[in-house]
Amino acid sequence: MAKNLIIVESPAKARTISKFLKNQYVVKASMGHIRDLPTRTLGVDVENNFEPKYVEDSKKKKVISELKEAAKDADKIFLASDHDREGEAIAWHLSKTLEKDIKDKELYRIVFNEITQKAIDESLKNPGKIDMAKVDAQQARRVLDRIVGYSISPLLWKVIAKDLSAGRVQSVALRLICEREAEITAFVPKEYWRIESEFWRDNLPKFKASLEKYQGKKKEIENEADASVVLEAIAGKEALLFDIKRSNRAVQPQAPFITSTLQQEASKLLSFQAQRTMSIAQQLYEGVDLGGDSTGLITYMRTDSTRITPEANAACKSLIKERFGEEYVYSSMRLFKNKQSAQDAHEAIRPTDPYRTPESLEPYLNKEQLRLYTLIWQRFVATQMTAAKLLVTQANIQLGEAEFSATGNQISFDGFMKCYPHVKIPLGESIHKDYAKGDTLEYQKPEKSQHFTSPPSRFTEASLIKELEAKGIGRPSTYASIISTIRNRKYVTIEKRSFLPTALGMDVNSFLVDKFDSLFNVKFTAQMEDKLDEVEYGKQVWHNLIRGYYDDMNILIGKVDVKKEKVALTEETDIICDKCNEAKMVVRRGRSGEFLACSNYPKCKNSKNFKRDLNGSIVIIVPEVLDEKCPECGKDLVEKNGRFGTFIACTGYPSCKYARPKTLGLKCPECKIGEVAQRKNQKGNTFYSCTRYPDCKWISNFKPVEQSCPNCGNHYMHERYSKDKGHTIECPKCKHVLA
């Protein structure tokens, strides 16, 4: 008897679902999208309602063949990709690819928010059809992004450098970072002064208070002279505690995680990049082996809804009562409001079973999985716990014509913080309960201190995601890819966990804002996201939406004078070309970054590498002359940096084109004949390979070290680096790590 077929995206998800279905269904994985727009052409018919011209992924021929064979043998086919726009599009592409093989068979779409027995059984009992409105919303986004990339990116290649890209959303994220940097650069610190003193009575603990008012008005002290005037006026005066107020305040738990808040908290607390967070969350969602059983541990991780099912909340409250006690259980069911634009198709991110505590899962999860699961579990459980309670004390002291103030917070009941300890409450001053209104206080001589206002903070990954969400730019599934794109394109760097735009990023942003401001601004991009939502809700025809965008973009492109823009972005120097001795050198950009080139190009093709000092001035990098001579012409050899890493070249170039990669002085671990060379790939990442390639295909991402492994005797070990372990020497065969 033929079995029904279920198609999901990943093998991990397939394994987990198969376990619940007890081999009653055939479960196959499509490995994500099996069709997409072509890579080398636009793939969109702009004259025919922007009809996409999809092609099958050439790398998935085997997968497609297996899916077709399975579909032929099945009675019914269930498409079970993720329950979002991308997942709906994957299901639709599968239906189109398998159309001939399933034309006489029943095709269904099933969705579930968590991979559990109950959720899968419910979805199979209530199968539906592909939601074409959701598919159209995904197509609209894909076609929009393709049109922008294929229309505006070539302008960047001509004006700035090759291999750059403009993205409809990524360029707005870059703009936010660049504009913040401009604010920081333009910021002028403002001086201000504080006056503080310690006060006490009898043997009670001292507390510090700051000047709040002077002569009955709120006092802002702008300079030292003003501070000295106040200090002279209050010198020797009696200190009176003229008012002290004590009140109780409740601190409520935060909503359960949605995609953006999970990425923000994982960045702040775990130092995970957004892309890493989503990758680990995907593993937890699709299923982890718990002693032979693959089990989905969290609900779907791409969501902007804070909704939780009553059943899950009830289980959570039972756990709280057992684990923490009755006093920690919230009296009713705490619910959280969604923002207006939230799509309520999913729940918030939560454990599929709160009784799977982090400590119970520790034997089965790797370190990163456990840390992220713990954070999700803690946040969810805290939502149904009682509020934390604070005793707030406000003390006001009269000292002559000056009024000093101090505030202190004391946690009287920890409430939800017993489970979710990551909420930081500023405690301020510890003001003893025996202080009372009317007390005469002793005090130390007040002191003045100079301070300056601070510039705005640079965006961290967490604060950038928060800003994108607040301004309506992007959606839950896009934040991680937006950030990874601007980093991979080297438009930004990370310094002290903050985004800093590179010179390249500033130039790209400057060009796009100058020529395409109406398309690459926050308001327009947020409105476009809302219109894409309207497509999903069936309120907007997707190709009509794109037509307006496309026409506006073409008008702006037609106004760009490439030659003029290229000259405007060219940085001139006072350095005279040492080959033609006529023209000045200018700064240009290539795939490997900035370099100096003769402005008399192509007549003179002289170029040089350079670096900038702390003041931004250009310093020419003089290649180091080696002790050996060129074997072909006898001239000196020098070490140079190129697109694919460091190499040795002849000083007689271009008449002598001798060059070879720089080696580490180690024989290849595999063939023992060639040498190990350090190289770079097109993304600028370092790797190591044999100089005898392609005869020897040895390659490694880690630097080899000529040191025998004390565990297995392997002659070569690898130098590795990780945030957890730092630099280590590890054996690639047995994974032994040297202490």
Catalytically active residues are: 300
Determine the Cα–Cα distance for residues 573 and 285; give it in Å rounded to an integer.
55
Could you tell me if 256 and 298 are in contact, meaning their C-beta atoms sit under 8 angstroms apart? no
- Across the chain, which distance is largest between two alpha carbons, in Å? 99
Looking at 30-102, which runs of residues are DSSP E strands?
A: 35-36, 44-45, 51-52, 55-56, 76-79
Q: Are 23 and 126 in contact (CB under 8 A)?
A: no
437: left (phi over 0), alpha (psi -120 to 50) or beta: beta
d(Cα 51, Cα 142) in Å, to the nearest integer? 12
Instruction: Please count the residues of the chain.
Output: 739
CA gap 650, 648 in Å, rounded: 7
**Which of 507, 478, 477 lies closest to 492 in space, CA to CA?**
507
Provide the angle, in degrees to the nearest 10, between the axes of the packed helices 11-21 and 274-286.
20
| DSSP summary character for residue 720 | E
Which element (helix H / strand E) includes 503? Answer: helix 503-516
* Cβ-Cβ contacts under 8 Å for 286 (sequence gap 6 or more): 10, 12, 13, 16, 115, 296
Q: Which amino acid is at 207?
A: F
Alpha-carbon gap, residue 145 to 367, rounded angstroms:
37
Using DSSP, state whether 448 is helix, strand or coil.
strand
H or E element, residue 59: none
Structure tokens, 710 = 């004390």
> For residues 486 and 489, what is the distance between their CA atoms, to the nearest angstrom?
5
Cβ atoms 274, 263 nearer than 8 A? yes
Determine the Cα–Cα distance for residues 543 and 519; give it in Å rounded to an integer.
18
The amino acid present at 224, given as its one-letter code, is: E
Alpha helices of 559-598 — where are they, by DSSP H? Answer: 562-569
